[in-house]
Amino acid sequence: MKKKSQNQREIDEVRKNNFSTKRATVKNLEKILYKSFKVLDHGFVRVIDYMGDDSSVVQAARVSYGKGTKKLNQDKNLINYLISHRHSTPFEMNEIKFHVKLPIFVARQWIRHRTANVNEYSARYSILDREFYMPKQKDLSPQSKTNNQGRSGELSSDEKKKYSKILRENSEMGFENYSKLLNEDEGGQAIDENKNGLARELSRITLPLNTYTQWYWKIDLHNFMHFLSLRFDSHAQYEIRVYAEIMMEILKKWVPLTYDAFLQNRLNALTISSDGIDFIKSLIHGKSKSSAKISKRELETIKKIFNC
């Protein structure tokens, strides 16, 4: 607890700082710098630093220093055009850096986005806190029968209690063994003064995948939006989607014009195959058209959006 209090005091001190700068700043984002947004049971997201704003995207596209010479509506239209026509480089000029605390199994999904700079807390040099993720019973579901990488359906109350018990007992046992191997208690004191503990880099092997880790994660705006387009999606795993939900709100504060264009042209837009286009044409003209060439997921999406 002392460690957490000390960290919070340091963060509070940093948040008191004010700096004079000639670079672009965003008032709404400045307000939340270093502020922690709670995720899951022990996780969080906080913005550490950023570079650029909506005008920086426009400036990069026009390669000019003419900030303020164009009307807001012109900037909005240009950003909308850039996203709708998949022009990525102007958005790569903006960057944002996060401090994220997350379960290791979520981190292993997250790290698949190889377009960011990452520096993770090292269990070779430091001892991990006794914190592990425990899903709420309402979030426990069986394996999906139609999606190999997802879950759907319902478990009985007894099944949920049984599986929760197994998850908790396994996690607690993993940390108990971790302490025994290190020969240290949670306070860092030796359990047995007459014995040597195992090296930290080996002791960590016993820890479960729901152990919490932390990292600094820096990414440019273009790749950040790509991350959100996948992880904010309803098909994404719940435990990573809740992080994306908070980051979407941060994106909105940082670059509101880009955020609106992102919603309009990516999240709320539809990309379909040529077979899908032919199928829709047949619906418009009232012709009978086979859907055999269309994937099941694309057909379901078309029917859902067009209510057909």
Query: What span, in angstroms and rounded, lies between the C-alpha atoms of 109 and 87?
Result: 27
Q: What is the Cα–Cα distance from 103 to 93, expressed in whole angstroms?
A: 30
Task: Report residue 129's pLDDT band, with 50, 70 and 90 as the boundaries.
Answer: very high
- Among 231, 241, 266, 297, the one annotated catalytic: 231
Number of Cβ atoms within 10 Å of the Cβ of 146: 8
Dihedral, CA of residue 20, residue 24, residue 29 and residue 32, to nearest 10? -20
Which domains, ranges and CATH numbers included, belong to the chain? Answer: 2-133+210-267 (3.30.1360.170), 147-208 (no CATH), 274-306 (no CATH)
151 is catalytic: no
What pLDDT shows up at residue 5?
63
With H, G, I as helix, E, B as strand and everything else as coil, classify residue 102: strand
User: For residue range 184-222, what is the model confidence (pLDDT) as tens digits?
Assistant: 877 778 888 888 999 999 999 999 999 999 999 999 999
pLDDT of residue 67: 57
Contact yes or no for 123/200 (Cβ under 8 A): yes
What's the rounded Cα separation, in Å, for the pair 115 and 118? 10
CA 8 from centre of chain: 23
- Please provide the DSSP assignment of 222-280 as one string: HHHHHHHHHHSSTTS-HHHHHHHHHHHHHHHHH-HHHHHHHIIIIIT-----HHHHHHH
Mean pLDDT of 74-80: 93
d(CA 62, CA 114) in angstroms, rounded, equals 28
Residue type, 186: E
> What pLDDT is attached to residue 1?
43
Q: Which helix (H) or strand (E) holds 174?
A: helix 157-182
- Rounded distance between C-alpha atoms, residue 88 and residue 225, angstroms: 10
Q: Which residues contact 219 (CB under 8 A, 6 or more apart)?
A: 95, 96, 113, 115, 116, 117, 227
Matching residue, tokens 């102007």: 90
pLDDT at 3: 54
Look at residue 109 and tell me whether its pLDDT is greater than 80: yes
pLDDT higher for 121 or 305? 121
Residue with more model confidence, 292 or 285: 285
Distance CA 220, CA 197 (A): 42
When pLDDT is averaged across residues 86-103 and rounded to a whole number, the result is 97
3-class SS shares of the chain: helix, strand, coil, % to 5: 50, 15, 40
203-212: b or e for each residue (b if 16 or more CB lie within 10 Å)? bbebbbebbb
Q: Is the pTM of this model over 0.85?
A: yes
